[in-house]
Amino acid sequence: MKRFLLLIVFFLTFQGEEIFAQTESKACSTFDEKTLLKHVKSLSSDAFEGRRTGTKGAAKTRKYIINQLHTLKVKPLGKSFEQPFSFIKKRKAFNAVNVMGVIKGSEFSKKYIVISAHYDHEGVKYGKIYNGADDNASGIGALFAFAEYFKKHPPKHSVILAAFDGEELGLQGSKYYVNNSIINSKDIVINLNMDMISRSDNKELYVVGTSENKGLKKLITDFNHSCKIKLVRGHDGYDGLDNWTYSSDHANFHKRGIPFLYFGVEDHKDYHEPTDDYENIHPEFYTEAVKTIISVFEKIDSSSKF
């Protein structure tokens, strides 16, 4: 009898492990984690010279992003992937370029979800390179993960993948885009913005943008994806924490009345320092954060309203 019970326990344990393994395998099949990390390591290397707007490092970064979008079968939003623009900051003129790709939706093709991340950073200051691994090579790596995900899981809504320039100089890329988009703002369902998502000592990924939207609040409150990290609502002006509503490119969508969710982590000691290097990100947290954001996208994409 004891031997029979042991066999049952063994069988149930084996089945449970097999189901768990299948679940993990499905989650991992969303994108290649090693490739994700490789992108962040490359984009935050000295070769890209800190990706300052208007520099050779920024041009090299754009070429890298466009090559990846080509490889992942993403189409340009306009006639080309590049959306050039210029602006003046502190009496200095800057020539900048957004990189914009699109994936047509299978059901709601005339409605768009904009998934964004800025690719620029601080460049070189006093001979030191500000590589910006977390800020924001991590967001660009996540854009590539989304593009890879869409190859196996075509979206229902059309999706714009936006790599914005000039964020560090006053959210310039997203500002130009929302004011000059070939897509009517009324057709943009939501902006999902990713800026600094690769490290957290507390394993907390914040999501901003739910406080004034009941549908988004319910979606995030009911959300249960990961047991490895925490998806935390906050930093939107109602909880005593720093208000991040206008802290990154999602701000310009918000100003146009477009719903947004911003994903980011708390500032850390390497924020806007030359020590924001690849070696200081948290790979396990980062890959889990990207999976979590993709899962949130799935919930939004599965409905024509939220």
In a shared domain, residues 15 and 108: no
- Look up residue 51 and give its two tokens: 């990706």
**19/107 same-domain check:** no
Asked if residue 140 and residue 8 are part of one domain, the reply reads no
Calculate the dihedral angle through the C-alpha atoms of 305, 263, 141, 294, rounding to the nearest 10 degrees: -40
State if pTM tops 0.85. yes
Element holding 298 (H helix, E strand)? helix 283-301
In a domain, 55, yes or no: yes
Q: Do residues 110 and 251 both lie within one domain?
A: yes
Domain-located, residue 306 = no
Number of domains in the chain: 2
Does residue 238 lie within any of the structural domains? yes
- CB atoms closer than 10 angstroms to residue 78: 12
Residue 100 lies in a domain: yes
Question: What is residue 133's DSSP assignment?
Answer: I
Q: Is the pLDDT of residue 126 over 70?
A: yes
Residues 47 and 1 both lie in one domain: no
Residue 20, domain member (yes or no): yes
- What single letter denotes the amino acid at residue 52? R
Among the ranges given (34-48, 160-174, 228-242), the one the predictor scored with the smallest mean pLDDT: 228-242
State residue 106's pLDDT score.
95
* Domain shared by 237 and 292, yes or no: yes
Q: Which two tokens stand for residue 188?
A: 């943009």
Do 71 and 86 sit in the same domain of this protein?
Answer: yes
Q: Could you tell me the CA-to-CA distances from 285 to 102, 197, 235, 282 in Å, in that order?
A: 28, 9, 20, 5
* pLDDT above 70: residue 241: yes
Whether 12 is covered by a domain: the verdict is yes
In a domain, 177, yes or no: yes
pLDDT at residue number 212: 86
If asked whether residues 86 and 107 sit together in one domain, one would say yes
Whether 25 and 133 map to the same domain: the answer is no
Pick from 52-66, 78-92, 211-225: least confident: 211-225
Q: Is residue 109 part of a domain?
A: yes
What CATH number is attached to the domain comprising 121? 3.40.630.10
**Token couple for 227:** 């047991």
Do 159 and 127 belong to one domain?
Answer: yes
23 lies in the same domain as 68 = no
Instruction: Look at strands 157-164 and 92-103 and give their pairing.
Output: antiparallel
**pLDDT band of 219, cuts 50, 70, 90:** very high
Is 19 in the same domain as 43? no
Range of the domain at 45: 32-301
